[in-house]
Amino acid sequence: MEIKVLKNVLDKNMNQAEQNRQALMKHNVKMVNFISSPGAGKTTLLEKTIPTLQETMNVAVIEGDAFTSKDAERLQQFNIPIVQINTEGTCHLDSSSIESAFAELDLQELDIILTENVGNLICPTAFDLGEDFRIAVLSTTEGDDKPAKYPMLFRQARAVVLNKADLLPYIDFDNETFKKDLQDLNPNLQVFETSSTLGTGLWNWVEWLEVALEKEVKRV
């Protein structure tokens, strides 16, 4: 019975995700779902990504947090629509919370929605939000073994951003193991090594993201 109920929850989520996808397509809006462990640097990556996207696109953010609106507050500087979803301890965003967020946004006016999921490497992977694709963010300090230990996200993601590269000189991180495990899980995965603190690797990442969003980018 428990398994049947879980299946119902996931089916219901999938149906709503499909409706979200239709709504996005109707308004020609792309949506990206950022997933990582707590503290991998999703918000900092968004802080470094939004200014470039903003030059040519109308960007909005949906912020998922178990509690607090700390991350949303950090993004207020960009003067873009931000919808905070507090899951009240639930470990992931779901498609019905995204539907509620859509109601607070003017989709007609948007090009891109960046969705920051709750910090969790497992649960968010089971819940389709209706996004175009997923981005895995991993910090170097979490260790090179994480793709093998938490394979779901790395199988699903379009790209991995390996963040906090500035700390590589101070830690044990075997880039070869990391890359090989990723290749075994998902040969099409794009891998970017960034340091949001130093600003390295960000240009390649944002440029790739713009192309992946398939939006006509006319930089002035």
User: Which residue's CB is nearer to a second copy, number 6 or number 25?
Assistant: 6
Q: Which of 58, 96, 107, 150 binds a second copy (CB under 8 A)?
A: 150
Per rule CB under 8 A, is residue 168 in the interface with a second copy? no
What binding mask, one character per residue, do residues 83-122 give for a second copy by CB under 8 A, x or -? ------xxx--------------------------xxxxx
* From 57, 80, 107, 167, residue interacting with a second copy (rule: CB under 8 A): 167
Site for a second copy in 118-147 (CB under 8 A): 118-123, 139, 141-143, 145-146
Nearest distance, CB of residue 139 and a second copy, angstroms: 6
- Give DSSP secondary structure letters for the chain: -HHHHHHHHHHHHHHHHHHHHHHHHHTT-EEEEEE-STTSSHHHHHHHHHHHHHHHS-EEEEEEESS--HHHHHHGGG---EEEEE-TT-SS--HHHHHHHHHTS-GGG-SEEEEE--S-SSGGGG---S-SEEEEEEEGGG-TTHHHHSHHHHHH-SEEEEE-GGGGGGS---HHHHHHHHHHH-TT-EEEE-BTTTTBTHHHHHHHHHHHTT------
Binding string, residues 40-79; x marks residues near a second copy by CB under 8 A: -------------------------xxxx-x---------
- Residues in contact with a second copy by CB under 8 A are 1-2, 5, 8-9, 37-39, 65-68, 70, 89-91, 118-123, 139, 141-143, 145-146, 148-152, 164, 166-167, 170-171, 197
